[in-house]
Structure 1
Amino acid sequence: MTTTETPETLRRILDYSSRADPYPLYAELRQTPVARQDDGSYAISTYHELMDVLHNPHLSSDVRNLSHPLPGFDAVTTPEFINLDPPEHDRMRRMTMRHFGPPHTPGLVTGMEGDLTAIVTSLIDGFAGKEQIDIVDDFAYPFPVTVICHLLGVPREDEPRFHVWVNAIIEVMDYNPQTDPKEILDNGTRAEQDLYQYLGGLLEQRHGRPGDDLLTRLANDDGPDGRMTDGEIVTTAGLLLIAGHETTVNLITNGMLTLLRHPEVLQRLRGEPGLVVPLVEELLRYEPPVHIIPWRAAYSDITVADTTIPKGSQVMLMLASGNRDPNRFHDPDRFDPDRSDNQHLGFGSGIHLCFGGPLARLETQIALTHLVHRLNQPTLSNDPPPYRSSPILRGPIHLHIEQSDG
């Protein structure tokens, strides 16, 4: 079957002018579940087709399998494990998970609840005397950054250094060589090198020394799969440092924005603390922190929705579009924390299901619970708020709110 080409729709989705509300464009894109773009890539936008490819072993996560290498990835030597395929992906994920969650460290995340609550309480205490609060700068960013620095063993006082690097690396994710200056690509490449050099320096100090942080554990672990190389540890630490706070910043901020737009749900949450668990799941469907997985590669010709995607083609997975697919979710454009059938794509699916999902869920549950209880009649200063540039990791760059003095 020959696909209908819809490059204009995807261009409008990626354009910053659509950042505040891309959902009508996703609905337009879903009219062609597998849409070939004019650069030869394919955008998949419907729920069932996305689930199929997320579980399809013939679709590679390794960009080195693309027929035309992506800018900035042609020199990759030690990819992060999310950009690898089995068996290497499975080996590195197992080795990391030994120190992050079940079955070897089953209580790590749940055991952090007290510490997470203390951080949240301290940050909200800092709102005192402020006429206007920026949920991003004053809360949603410092909270997960503090947490992931503690887990990894990265000094919190170094945050200003790696914040600049992380921003430059993220900007490369949606780099377009036809429209964007090469400076963006050069800055991102340099930032990645600087971040890895920084993490490598921290790693050197961990070899042969006891400690509970993840860097130390990875540096000294001889588990069933052996020990990671220093290069593998550094790329894994870089992945966790970036993913461990960037997605959570968006999830918390999108969550607070959604609650302020639905004051009846905010009020319910104040009186029904247990509501926060399904509410966060609905947030992951309704306003997910990751909208697009921008690159997958076809190992061989694959067929999706009667469409043949040729070997080596770039495939873009439009996760946020799948989350609003009316063929899967009833009344998908309605925010409904009581939604019972909610197998969303907010953390992806398949073997690359978000590694840090359990921690991000707990952080967001605690954050929103305490915000709605302690903010006094909060209102949005601007709606829509200003958004970050990325269409991939989508969220407000600032979320200014005001609260009553009474």
Structure 2
Amino acid sequence: MSTTTPGNPPLVDLAELVADPYATYGRLREAGPVHRFTGTDGLPAWLVTRYDDVRQALADPRLSLDKRNAKPGGYRGLALPPALDANLLNMDPPDHTRIRRLVSRAFTPRRTALLREPIRKTAHSLLDAIAADGRADLIASYAAPLPIAVICDLLGVAEDDRLDFRSWTDALVVPDPARPDRAKEAVRGLLAYFTRLLTDKRAAPADDLLSALIAVRDEEDRLSEDELMSLAFLILIAGYENTVHLIGNATLALLRHPGRLAELRADPGRLGPAVEELARYDGPVPLAIRRFPTEDVVIGGVTVPAGETVLLSLAAAHRDPRRFSEPDRLDLDRDATGHLALGHGIHYCVGAPLARTETEIALAVLLERFPRLALDVPPDALRWRPSMRTRGLLSLPVRY
């Protein structure tokens, strides 16, 4: 990625963003509120870096998520079939409003509260499996299988199928340039699986979210078949991927700040508010999903033409000193409300209550079970996913 702002433009590449997105985006933020740049896909886009501008843009109805509002040739994202593409991340009102209203019932704070004990049991079970080893990769053994278990239970996905889901999701979220066919294989696998799963659920409905959505489709005619399958696909991807890295990044932040870790051990009741600060400090989504202006818009004093790609840097916004005092410091006493890790406006994450609950319980159980938890490698040896759009560890080696 290279910027083309006036003056002495800072040059940025993917390796820099993966290694230290906060320093890189911080440099851009202080150089100016909006930057014209060329992305890793070779296409031009606009990067917004300051908190007030990012927050306002997240809620601006003129910034569309619908790819049809991109100018010709202005979008090169993964080509999904219609059966997976008709999801909330590609929609504006009124379709977005209709579908979000249907699925939001599954993620209310009240319904999420009913999941607390099952989540806690799953967390303990995962740690039981590694407790005697003394060492583990906490991503592979804990942070990843916990959210996939929760979201698959919610959807009604059989336990035997969950390993396939993890591999398919990983292939889609962080494509391997050396294996361009891998993402296409994952799309084919997901499409075939959901087609079969919907058939099975129709034949034998159960007490799960997918059966409820099928009833909405078949009995109430409030979803198309593509919308139904795309919604199941999105719930799986979003409910798994972001929570994995929220848990992983939060755990790493605490391990690198032993004083903060000791505070939470002494008072586990602080974990709820602490999750908000941890999400601000090192959240799993550095960039909000791309947007396309439906008309020329002014952002941070810069006119962005209709149809061009706009990327909103949540990573830069979360370290903006205009909004957060001493933003590079992890402060568990900070009032971090207003962070944008779960979005803002009509596209605010519908599963936010569940993501918060999973992260809080995952940390609580981990700290309770492993009082001597520590990194098992130097921090510089940790490897991050090679992606601008996902901030997550490939592995988190720990000893306990």
TM-score normalised by L of structure 2: 0.91
What's 1:91 paired with?
Answer: 98
Q: Tell me if the contact between 1:219 and 1:230 (Cα under 8 Å) persists in the aligned partners.
A: no
Q: State the 1:206 CA deviation.
A: 1.8
Q: State the 1:392 CA deviation.
A: 1.1
Alpha-carbon distance change, 379 to 71 in structure 1, aligned in 2, over 3 angstroms: same
Consecutive unaligned residues in structure 2, runs of 5 or more: none
| AA of the residue aligned to 2:76 | P
| AA of the residue aligned to 2:101 | R
| Partners of 2:220 and 2:267 in 1: CA distance | 45
What's 1:131 paired with?
Answer: 134
Q: State the 1:128 CA deviation.
A: 2.3
| Partners of 1:8 and 1:163 in 2: CA distance | 39
Aligned residue for 1:249, secondary structure, equals helix
Aligned counterpart in structure 2 of residue 391 of structure 1, from 388, 393, 396: 388
Q: Going by fraction, where is helix more abundant, 1 or 2?
A: 2
| Equivalent runs, 1:1-400 vs 2, <5 Å | 4=5, 9=10, 11-12=12-13, 15-30=14-29, 31-38=31-38, 39-67=43-71, 68-73=73-78, 77=82, 78-98=85-105, 100-102=106-108, 107-172=110-175, 180=177, 183-184=179-180, 186-207=181-202, 209-221=204-216, 226-382=221-377, 383-384=379-380, 385-400=382-397
Instruction: State which drifts further: 241-250 or 225-234.
Output: 225-234
Q: Tell me if the contact between 2:139 and 2:395 (Cα under 8 Å) persists in the aligned partners.
A: yes
Q: State the 1:8 CA deviation.
A: 6.8
Q: State the 1:312 CA deviation.
A: 0.5
Alpha-carbon distance change, 129 to 52 in structure 1, aligned in 2, over 3 angstroms: same
| Partners of 2:141 and 2:194 in 1: CA distance | 26
Alpha-carbon distance change, 380 to 344 in structure 1, aligned in 2, over 3 angstroms: same
| AA of the residue aligned to 1:94 | R
Alpha-carbon distance change, 265 to 277 in structure 1, aligned in 2, over 3 angstroms: same
TM-score normalised by L of structure 1: 0.89
Q: Tell me if the contact between 1:134 and 1:400 (Cα under 8 Å) persists in the aligned partners.
A: yes
| Partners of 2:45 and 2:171 in 1: CA distance | 25
Q: Tell me if the contact between 1:6 and 1:35 (Cα under 8 Å) persists in the aligned partners.
A: no
Q: State the 1:10 CA deviation.
A: 6.6
| AA of the residue aligned to 2:136 | I
Q: State the 1:161 CA deviation.
A: 1.9
| Partners of 1:321 and 1:371 in 2: CA distance | 30
Q: State the 1:224 CA deviation.
A: 11
Superposed CA deviations along residues 132-180 of structure 1, whole A, max 9, x for unmatched, are 11110111011111111100011121122222221221125xx9xxxx5
Q: Tell me if the contact between 1:109 and 1:358 (Cα under 8 Å) persists in the aligned partners.
A: yes
Q: State the 1:391 CA deviation.
A: 2.4
Q: Tell me if the contact between 1:7 and 1:37 (Cα under 8 Å) persists in the aligned partners.
A: no
Alpha-carbon distance change, 365 to 56 in structure 1, aligned in 2, over 3 angstroms: same
Instruction: State which drifts further: 217-226 or 35-44.
Output: 217-226
| Partners of 1:241 and 1:46 in 2: CA distance | 31
| Partners of 1:132 and 1:341 in 2: CA distance | 33
| Partners of 2:210 and 2:78 in 1: CA distance | 25
Q: State the 1:194 CA deviation.
A: 2.3
Alpha-carbon distance change, 288 to 308 in structure 1, aligned in 2, over 3 angstroms: same
